[in-house]
Each structure stands twice: as structure tokens, then as C-alpha cells.
Amino acid sequence: MKILVYNRKNSEVWTSAVRNAFPDADVRHWVEGDCHDWLADYAVIWQPPAAFFQQQTQLKAVFNQGVGVDSLVSLESLPADLPVFKLRGVGMEEYMSDYVTYGLLHFYRDFDLYRQHQSDKQWQPHRIAQKSDWTVGILGLGVIGKAVAEAVSHLGFPVIGWSRSEKTVQGVNCVSGKEGLDHLLRESRVLVSLLPSTPSTHKLLNQETLTKLPEGGVLINGGRGDVIDIEALQVLLKSGHMRGAMLDVFEKEPLEDSHPFWNNSKVMITPHIAAPTPVAQALEQIVADIALIEQGEMPPAIDKSLGY
């Protein structure tokens, strides 16, 4: 078995992990311009250039090193009939649940206000609100979104979850479609976006949709940066319609030094760390999936037309 690995930033980590997971396989790291006569059976990759698929023409399947596959499906060189598999949780659910919980409690317990009070040397306790008044709306109910919705619900907050198609999550009011999205926006004190980057989600959270949030609403984004119209968010934060935001992802990363969000006390910025890929757990899933393929079975692949 031949396996090709590509990760521009963490090549040694991933190549070593794949070799350990497949000790009997011929595992190599792909470098553009090399391996012209070496065609792999499988690829374990993250954001490869178009030349990767132009060269590797005999792949049985591709395994993405993360959940987001937008950089893959946007490549014209990706063969239409080549199965692509994304990671299905593998521990990222817990990371993202922790991240969202932190952001939720930060605003619910008024820590954003207390931080400002500290800067002003002001001693001013605030009454703790009822959790029932802090409905949390979660956009995206995949493996990670479902786990986040359940975690938030277990904390005692009302949760509304929205997805493209109808889903059922215990303890969560699940909605779908345009009417469901409108309902979620109008009822949510805190909006959590865990949506993938697709043509249908691009700038979904814009001036029109974000204005539907109740005044004083909060946004937490751990999904994809291009889901949010960042200029519209900036306007709504300045007007006071939105109280604050916790943003882990941006359409262009890293966020440029000159962006006003760096100095905006209403915004918390994190460098795309909400739910990093646990490499060991990821390889366990990839090993199991390749074993199924070798046995003539097919694990659940992404739908390229949907982008996830």
C-alpha cells in the first residue's frame, strides 16, 4: 500500500504519524515537483495545491486532515469520482464544546463588563441573569455541532439548533430551512456558528440576518470565517445592537494587523484554535476507514456538491 501525505505547515508531524499508523505501507510526504513516477493508493492531506491531483491520478480515496473540506472541493483538479473523507469528530467535539462554553459563560456572567470595569477601576456587581433568558442558537448540527448543542443544553441553557435538513438532538429545539433560521435568529441571545464554508453559507450572517438577533446579542464563530460579513458585524457592534463577539476564524488568516477588531474591547480574537485536529485519534479513524475500503466497503464520504 502506498500513502502520500501533504501538510505544508506540519509535514513532519503528519508523515511520522501516518508511518506509525501504517507500518507496512510505503508512506511519503508529497513535495511539488517530486514523486512524478510514484503514484499513491491513498492520500492524507490538508489544503494541497492543484498540482497534487494533476500528478496523483490513481488514488482510491483522499482523507482530509480536518473537518473543513472547502479548500479541497474548490480545486478544479480534484476528480469528480474520487471519494473524499473528512474527519468525523475524533475528539474535536470536546475541544469545540469547551471553546463555545467559555465564550457563552464569558458573556452570560458579564465578564466582558467586569473586564472593562477593571480598566476603569470600577467596583460594580451585576445581577446574575436566569439561564432561561439566554437562549443559545447553534448553526450547524453535524458531529461537532450536535456535541456542542448537547453540552450547552446540559448547562441549563435553552438551545435551538439549525441545520440544512431536519435533525433530532435530545434536549435541543431543532429547526431547518429559512423559517427555522429566522426563528433561531429572533430567539437567540447567543448565536454560535459552526457552519462549513459552502456557496450557500457564504456571508450568511450579514447585516440583514444579524439584525434579527435581539438587541444585545452575542456571536461566537468557531466554524468558517467567510460565513460572516465582518463589516456588517463591525457596524452592529458599533451601534450597540450586538454586545460582543468571540471569533476564532476569519475569511483571511491571519487577521491583518490593521483590522479594527484587534483594538475592539467588544471582540475576543483567537488564532483558529477552537478545535485543532488530534492527530492520533484522526489516524485511528483513517486506519479504520482504509481497512473498510480494502475490504470492499465504503465509509461515509463527503457530498462534493454540498461542500461537506
Instruction: Report pLDDT digits (tens) over 236-291.
Output: 999 999 999 999 999 999 999 999 999 999 999 999 999 999 999 999 999 999 99
Query: Is 117 among the residues known to form the active site?
Result: no
Q: Is the pLDDT of residue 204 over 90?
A: yes
E runs forming strands in the chain:
2-7, 26-29, 42-46, 61-64, 84-85, 136-139, 159-163, 173-176, 190-193, 217-221, 242-247, 267-269
Query: Is 202 among the residues known to form the active site?
Result: no
Torsion of CA 245, 203, 257, 262, to 10 degrees: -10
Is there a single domain that holds both residue 122 and residue 264?
yes
CA angle, 100 as apex, 95 and 104 as ends, to 5°?
A: 150
Is there a single domain that holds both residue 185 and residue 245?
yes
Q: Is residue 203 assigned to a domain?
A: yes
Q: Identify which has the larger pLDDT, 95 or 32.
A: 95
Q: Which of 269, 286, 302 is the last residue of a domain?
A: 269
Is there a single domain that holds both residue 120 and residue 53?
no
Is there a single domain that holds both residue 43 and residue 117?
no
Q: Is residue 159 assigned to a domain?
A: yes
Is there a single domain that holds both residue 249 and residue 118?
yes
Provide the residue range defining the domain that includes 50.
2-90+277-294
**Percentages of the chain per state (helix, strand, coil), in multiples of 5:** 35, 20, 45
Q: Is residue 305 assigned to a domain?
A: no
pLDDT score, position 167: 96
pLDDT score, position 35: 61
d(CA 63, CA 69): 10
Is there a single domain that holds both residue 236 and residue 96?
yes
Is there a single domain that holds both residue 25 and residue 171?
no
Q: Is residue 301 assigned to a domain?
A: no
Catalytic residue among 224, 241, 243, 259: 224
Angstrom CA distances, 13 to 3, 10, 139, 275, stand at 15, 5, 32, 18
Question: What mean pLDDT do residues 109-116 have?
Answer: 97
Lookup: cell for 82:
474520487
Q: Is residue 306 assigned to a domain?
A: no
- Place 32 in a pLDDT band, splitting at 50, 70 and 90: confident
pLDDT score, position 168: 96
Q: Is the pLDDT of residue 55 over 90?
A: yes
The CATH number given to whatever domain includes residue 154 is 3.40.50.720
* Number of structural domains the chain divides into: 2
Is there a single domain that holds both residue 96 and residue 193?
yes
- Place 222 in a pLDDT band, splitting at 50, 70 and 90: very high
CA angle, 154 as apex, 149 and 160 as ends, to 5°?
A: 35
Q: Is residue 146 assigned to a domain?
A: yes
Average pLDDT, the chain: 96
Is there a single domain that holds both residue 127 and residue 235?
yes
pLDDT score, position 150: 98
Question: What mean pLDDT do residues 53-67 have?
Answer: 96
Is there a single domain that holds both residue 197 and residue 283?
no
pLDDT score, position 33: 76
pLDDT score, position 34: 74
